[in-house]
Amino acid sequence: MAAASKRAAQQTDRQVGSRIRMRRRVLHITQERLGHAIGVTFQQIQKYETGTSRVSAGRLWKIADVLQCDIAWFFDGNAE
């Protein structure tokens, strides 16, 4: 993977994670509750929110369902 595309992927991971955190907080849902709802630990939710771990498409679909938003919302404002 080229350095520029790797950097773009990491930026996208951070953007998606940031949007997960933002929406979760608006709905007053804990990391533990979100994790339980999608079948992962709260530590994994922390990794998603910081962009340390990439969220798979299927898992993002579940997160969007729990957070009552469209998947596209996680990418709003992302120029990549």
State the pLDDT confidence band at 80, using cuts at 50, 70 and 90.
very low
Task: Look at residue 53 and tell me if it is in a domain.
Answer: yes
The 10 Å Cβ neighbour count of residue 1 is: 8
Predicted pLDDT at 78: 57
* Domains: count for the chain: 1
d(CA 51, CA 25): 17
Task: Look at residue 25 and tell me if it is in a domain.
Answer: yes
Name residues whose C-beta falls within 8 Å of residue 70's C-beta, 6 or more positions apart in sequence: 64
Domain of residue 51, residue span: 3-75
Q: For the segment 32-72, what is each residue's pLDDT rounded down to a tens digit?
A: 999 999 999 999 999 999 999 999 999 999 999 999 999 99
Q: Output 26 or 78, whichever has higher pLDDT.
A: 26
The CATH number assigned to the domain holding 46 equals 1.10.260.40
Task: Look at residue 80 and tell me if it is in a domain.
Answer: no
State the SS3 of 11-57.
HHHHHHHHHHHHHHHHCCCCHHHHHHHHCCCHHHHHHHHHCCCCCCH
Predicted pLDDT at 76: 83
